[in-house]
Every structure is written in C-alpha cells, then in structure tokens.
Amino acid sequence: MLQLIDLHLHLPGTVRAHTLAELATKNGVELPMPADHLYPRINSDPTEEEKGKGPWFPLLRVYELISASLRTREDFSRVVYEALEDGLRNSNLCYAELAFSPSVHMQAGVEYKEMAAGISDGFARARETLGVDGRAIAAVNREDSGQVAVQLVETVIEHSNDDIVGIGLDFYELAGMPEKFAEAFHLAGEHKLYRTAHAGEHAPTAETVATAIDLLGCDRIDHGYQILRDPKIVERCAELGTVFNVAFTTSRRALIQWRKDSVAAMVEAGLRISINSDDPALFPTTLRREMDLASEVVPGKTEAWFVSNSIDAAFISDVDKRRLRNRVLGG
C-alpha cells in the first residue's frame, strides 16, 4: 500500500476523545459533556430536523475546549505523537504537517517556547519509534488583529525551531480577510518561513486566493474551492502549478456534494491538488478514506499523482523532498 502524506492537518482536530477527557481533567477544563459524547455532536449547521435533537456544538467551540486543555510541554508532545500514530495506523502515513494556533494557547497563559518544545518532542518520538516524519505550521488566528499576527511571527522567529517551519492563516475565512495580515506574512517571508493560508473556502470569491498568493506570498493554498468563480485566476494558478490542499470531510458531519464537485472541477481545470484529512478525529475520517474518495471523485488521477503533488508542496528542503519522493514513489 502506498505511503501517504497529509499537509492539511489541524492539531486540535487530531486529538482523541479519551485524550481530551484526560487532559481536560488534568488541567481543570470543564467539558459540556463527556468527550466521547461531545465529538459526535459537532455540527455547525444542523438541519431543521436535527435542531430538535441537540445540543450541537460548532467546530470552533470544540477547538476552543481542546486548545484550553493543552497546557504543558508534555500535553503538546502527547497529542503530536498520537496524531502521527493514528495516521500511520489508519492510513499508512509517512509524513504530516500539523497546524497549531499559538495565540489561542498564549492567551490562556501557555508560553510559546513550551508548546514549541512539546511539538518537537512529539515529532522526535514519532521519528524514532514510528518512522513517521513531520513539521509544524504556526497558524495565525484570523480573528486576531494584524498587529497580533505580527507579534506571533516575531515570536516564531525569536524562538527558531527546525520543526516549526511555516506560517498559516486559519479559522473562519470571513472573520479576517488575507490583506489584514500582509505585514505578518511579509515578515515571515523575510525570515524564510514557508507560508500558506485558508483561502477560497468560505468567502464567495476567487479573489482571496489571488490575494493570498500575490500579497501574502503563499507557497500553497488550503482549500481554495471558490477559485472556480474566476476562470482567469484558475488559469493563472494552473500555470503557476499552485498546489491546493483539499479535504472532503470538513466542517460538517456529512460529506458536502458541492465540495466533491468542486474538487473534480478544479482538477479538470488543470489545477494541482493534494488530499488531506483536516480534522480526522472530530468528524471522523482518515487520510485513507479521503484518498479513497478522491479516487471516486477524480477517477482519472492515480494516488501517486496526489502524493506527488503533496511532496512538491511540502514545507521541506529540496533535498528532503527528493528523499521523501524516493521513499514513497521510488524516485
């Protein structure tokens, strides 16, 4: 079975229910119900029929509870290791990039250097015991101000870490459009940090994709489905070879047909995409399941094509990309 790569994986979205239960108890976080009951009730947009069967909890509310439960270096190390362990067991994962939101934890009193050290510990243990490699992306919370984003990037630069290699832009797209974070992303680029952003996911325009590339200097795009609204931007991204990190099972308990149709149209239009799991513990899904869906949605492309795109888009050096390609695809 082909080894897989996951480039769009949110750390809170990988936390096992029983791990959340233990960490919440340890760190004094009160959950609204037991974690194994909470996870199946993540539903940001319940139907009229479902509304009477609540309570339901928006994804970002559960993110907040999970983030509040991560307090120590050991907590971060544990969840990083478990994310890679689950990826290996469920999907034959060999490499992943985990996004985390430092400002959320910092506001709760966690020092950046503690979370960074824990993340590195988790990666080191996974490399040694699982043979799975990874890197981390410090994501800007788009609900923060532009100045807070700059401060975050400054903190990442000050506490340079070989495992934290890039800057992202996460959470609900309409809460903070990309131009708000231009200064932060420019600073990241000056210090050779890779850059990515959620764009073209919620905002009904292709312009956010163009802005993320042109103004923020993003090396790749997370999601990006709304790019289909502008054929000229589609054509330009196809010429650039921009990789879009897509996932089918996101933000709802059920698959969205529109998402599947959009991914198929993106590939048909000549865009490069990688397949990812996003929040596999919360919906639930696995990278293997997402890849199987991709084979159904885009039957003309092989798994090797998707994985090759992932390797090209990975936030690692060209030397490491060659090594990864040799390991996974044989050259």
Q: Where are the domains of the chain?
A: 4-329
Query: Residue 85: its pLDDT value, please?
Result: 98
- Least-confidence region, from 44-48, 140-144, 192-196, 262-266: 44-48
Better pLDDT: 6 or 331: 6
For the stretch 33-78, pLDDT in tens is: 999 999 999 987 777 887 888 899 998 899 999 999 999 999 999 9
Query: Residue 48: its pLDDT value, please?
Result: 80
CATH (one of 3.40.50.300, 3.40.50.970, 3.30.450.70, 3.20.20.140) for 4-329: 3.20.20.140
E strand intervals along 127-258: 133-141, 164-170, 194-199, 220-223, 243-246
Confidence of residue 331 (pLDDT cuts 50, 70, 90): low
For range 131-156, the mean pLDDT: 97
User: Which residues have CB under 8 Å from 140's CB, separation 6+?
Assistant: 101, 103, 149, 152, 153, 167, 168, 169, 170, 181, 184
Query: Residue 203: its pLDDT value, please?
Result: 87
For range 286-291, the mean pLDDT: 97
User: Which residues have CB under 8 Å from 40's CB, separation 6+?
Assistant: 253
Query: Residue 1: its pLDDT value, please?
Result: 81
Query: Residue 156: its pLDDT value, please?
Result: 98
For range 291-310, the mean pLDDT: 96
Confidence of residue 252 (pLDDT cuts 50, 70, 90): low
Better pLDDT: 219 or 52: 219
Kindly state the tokens that stand for 297.
């949605």
Where are the alpha helices (H) located in 143-215, listed in sequence order? 146-158, 182-190, 207-214
Cβ proximity of 196 and 218 under 8 Å:
yes
Query: Residue 250: its pLDDT value, please?
Result: 72
Query: Residue 111: its pLDDT value, please?
Result: 96
User: Which residues have CB under 8 Å from 83's CB, separation 6+?
Assistant: 9, 11, 14, 15, 96, 98, 122
Residue count (the chain): 331
Cβ proximity of 96 and 5 under 8 Å:
yes
For the stretch 147-165, pLDDT in tens is: 999 999 999 999 999 999 9
Query: Residue 72: its pLDDT value, please?
Result: 98
Confidence of residue 110 (pLDDT cuts 50, 70, 90): very high
Query: Residue 251: its pLDDT value, please?
Result: 57
Confidence of residue 83 (pLDDT cuts 50, 70, 90): very high
In the chain, % of residues over pLDDT 90: 87
Query: Residue 44: its pLDDT value, please?
Result: 75
For the stretch 303-323, pLDDT in tens is: 999 999 999 999 999 999 999
